[in-house]
Amino acid sequence: MAEQSEEKKGTHAGRVRRHGGIKKTSLVLPPDAKDDWPLNLRELLEWYGHQVTDVSKAAQLRITEATRIVDDCFNGKTTLKEAGERVSQYDHRWRDVFRGLVDHVRGMTDEEIYKAMDDSIERQIQQQRERSR
């Protein structure tokens, strides 16, 4: 098998960084873009970078924590009751709009998932309002 060139090795993000990042000139502005946009291109790219970093770290933490809960129970370090308590803590810690959708997303389009997430947010807001009355 032929070796990959140095340029082809690594992740896409790594290659982008090695080559100086995304250039402003490589971006095509939408037709309605004006100088008074709330974000400039640099800020938009920074926001994007933060989103990728945040989501990646959250996924890593969630998977690690869930794995520990299961491993500890299967290896006899905790009882099923203790595991259940940890699952409850996990659910409280990681509560988000995707909660409850996991069983339903298979076969859904991205747009259907977005709608379900938005509906979930609205339900949570409504429930909070009702509790605060």
pLDDT at 8: 47
pLDDT at 17: 53
The residue ranges of every structural domain in the chain are 39-95, 96-133
Confidence of residue 25 (pLDDT cuts 50, 70, 90): very low
Rounded Cα distance between 85 and 72, Å, is 13
When mean pLDDT is compared across 43-47, 59-63, 80-84, 97-101, the lowest value belongs to 97-101
Closest CA to 120 of 105, 131, 106, 109: 105
User: Is the CB of residue 32 less than 8 Å from the CB of residue 24?
Assistant: no
Burial class (CB in 10 A: 0-12, 13-18, 19+), 62: middle
Res. 95: pLDDT tops 90: no
